[in-house]
């Protein structure tokens, strides 16, 4: 029977929450699969472009990360920082390229904002 097999496969995929701050200070929720990048989840939801596909060369996946979550993600690389610093919406304490962030359990519920540049 294919039904139960498909259901158990779906259950094995760990779904994580992404909380996107809205202009009125609230949050809307999007989903990510553990193991994909934050950019891939946001691009699939139509929230960022991710033009280069995650090669760290376009910066169209720029996001602002809430401060309490910044300590849970890896350090920014030299290449990423070079792109970030050229952006109008760059904020040193909050800016990251979402293609450089791998979604995993410790990021379930991550709070971000999409800069309006
Ligand atoms: S998708 Fe191009 S830099 Fe992130």
User: Is 7 part of a structural domain of the chain?
Assistant: no
pLDDT at residue number 2: 44
Q: Which of 38, 48, 49, 61, when mutated, tests ligand 1's pocket best, judged by the most ligand atoms within 8 Å of its CB?
A: 61
Residue 42 falls inside a structural domain: yes
**Local confidence band at 23 (pLDDT 50, 70, 90 cut-offs):** confident
Q: What is the CATH number of the domain that holds 109?
A: 3.10.20.30
Q: Which residue has the tokens 């293609």?
A: 99
Does the CB atom of residue 60 touch ligand 1 within 6 A?
yes
Q: Is 51 in the pocket of ligand 1 (CB under 6 A)?
A: yes
Rounded average pLDDT over 95-117: 95
**pLDDT of amino acid 116:** 82
Domain that holds residue 73: 16-113
Q: Quick check: is 1 in a domain?
A: no
76 has pLDDT over 50 = yes
Kindly report the pTM of this predicted structure: 0.88
List, in order, residues 6 or more apart from 85 with CB less than 8 Å away. Answer: none
Cα(106)–Cα(4) distance, integer angstroms: 29
From ligand 1's centre to the CA of 18, what distance in Å?
A: 18
Contact 38 CB / ligand 1 (< 6 Å): no
In a domain, 10, yes or no: no
Tell me if 6 is assigned to some domain: no
Residue-level pLDDT at 6: 47
Distance CA 74, CA 5 (A): 35
Residue 56 lies in a domain: yes
Domains: count for the chain = 1
Question: Does residue 100 sit in helix, strand or coil?
Answer: helix
Q: What is the predicted pLDDT for the residue at 117?
A: 63
pLDDT score recorded for residue 1:
44
Taking only the tens place, the pLDDT of each residue in 78-94 is: 999 999 999 999 999 99
**pLDDT tens digits for range 11-22:** 567 999 999 998
Ligand 1 atom at minimal distance to the Cα of residue 56: 3
């Amino acid at each position: 029977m294919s039904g139960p097999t498909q259901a158990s496969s779906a259950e094995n995929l760990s779904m994580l929450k992404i909380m996107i701050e809205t202009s009125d200070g609230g949050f809307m929720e999007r989903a990510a699969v553990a193991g994909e990048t934050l950019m891939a989840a946001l691009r699939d939801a139509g929230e960022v472009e991710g033009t280069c596909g995650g090669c760290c060369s376009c910066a169209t996946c720029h996001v602002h990360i809430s401060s309490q979550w910044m300590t849970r993600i890896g350090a920014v690389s030299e290449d990423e920082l070079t792109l970030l610093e050229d952006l109008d919406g760059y904020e040193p304490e909050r800016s990251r390229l979402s293609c450089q962030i791998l979604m995993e359990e410790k990021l379930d519920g991550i709070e971000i904002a999409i800069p309006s540049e």
